[in-house]
């Protein structure tokens, strides 16, 4: 399984890097919207939506929402979206503490989960645009945001395997440990410091970026756990099967969805 995961990552990583660094923001936003729509579809299935017609209707509604958000992304809609995204992940921490909430396959719980999916997908997309469209080094700041999350994932995997004993959230994701979380924080912060230095961030701003990296990694862990919670409720192992050894798009993007609003809002607050 590890070999399969590594091979899949070696194929996906260059593609993701090219998508981030090569196109202008408008094309980048369109490509990301396509990926986010696929993740939205998987979230709808995890939420318990069985009707194909309803799923297609939700997909069309999401397309319309992306179009409206792009039309208003240069307005007050952007900071509001980032604020909403950060606020949602704070609320999600409460959901993780009460993991049985909305577990029953009722219509009301399905609606709540679909609303949660909207609060995950759309603010994350707006955060991507906000970072990528920055006047100075926007493409590279976007790349750094993703590298922080990816390195955190790698750091969590290896530190968890080497030192993991105490479980982080055994009822939700038995494989995750506190040692893995510490490894994720260390790896993500290191990458942020290296990336920030290369992007000419110095002094107190670099320290602020390191703190932001810790918050970003913490959010990414929450995002991963929330998706694990959804899969527990749905009684499935993966959100999909598009990537061998990695599952579906949602399995690959859950941490990114949570990290992006935090990172984008942090950059704005730090004035970077």
Question: pLDDT tens digits for 6-46?
Answer: 666 677 788 889 999 999 999 999 999 999 999 999 999 99
pTM metric for this prediction? 0.93
- Tell me the average pLDDT across 189-209: 96
Band of pLDDT at residue 76, cut at 50, 70 and 90? confident
The full set of domain ranges for the chain reads: 2-270
Instruction: Say whether pLDDT at 245 is over 60.
Output: no
- As given in the structure block, the two tokens for residue 269 are 């607050």
């Amino acid at each position: 399984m590890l070999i399969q995961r590594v091979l899949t990552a070696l194929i996906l990583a260059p593609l993701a890097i090219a998508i981030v660094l090569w196109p202008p923001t408008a094309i980048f936003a369109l490509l990301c919207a396509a990926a986010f729509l696929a993740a939205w579809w998987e979230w709808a299935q995890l939420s318990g939506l069985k009707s194909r017609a309803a799923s297609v209707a939700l997909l069309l509604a999401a397309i319309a929402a992306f179009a409206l958000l792009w039309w208003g992304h240069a307005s007050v809609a952007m900071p509001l979206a980032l604020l909403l995204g950060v606020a949602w992940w704070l609320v999600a921490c409460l959901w993780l503490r009460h993991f049985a909430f909305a577990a029953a396959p009722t219509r009301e719980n399905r609606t709540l989960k679909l609303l949660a999916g909207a609060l995950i997908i759309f603010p994350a997309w707006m955060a991507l645009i906000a970072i990528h469209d920055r006047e100075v080094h926007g493409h590279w700041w976007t790349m750094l945001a993703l590298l922080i999350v990816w390195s955190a994932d790698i750091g969590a995997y290896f530190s968890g395997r080497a030192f993991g004993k105490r479980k982080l959230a055994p009822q939700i994701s038995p494989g995750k440990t506190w040692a893995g979380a510490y490894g994720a924080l260390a790896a993500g912060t290191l990458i942020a410091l290296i990336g920030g230095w290369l992007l000419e961030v110095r002094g107190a701003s670099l320290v602020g970026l390191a703190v932001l990296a810790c918050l970003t990694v913490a959010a990414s862990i929450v995002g991963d756990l929330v998706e694990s919670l959804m899969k527990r409720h749905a009684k499935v192992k993966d959100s999909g099967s598009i990537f061998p050894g990695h599952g579906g798009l949602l399995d690959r993007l859950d941490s990114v969805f949570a990290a992006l609003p935090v990172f984008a809002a942090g950059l704005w607050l730090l004035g970077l």
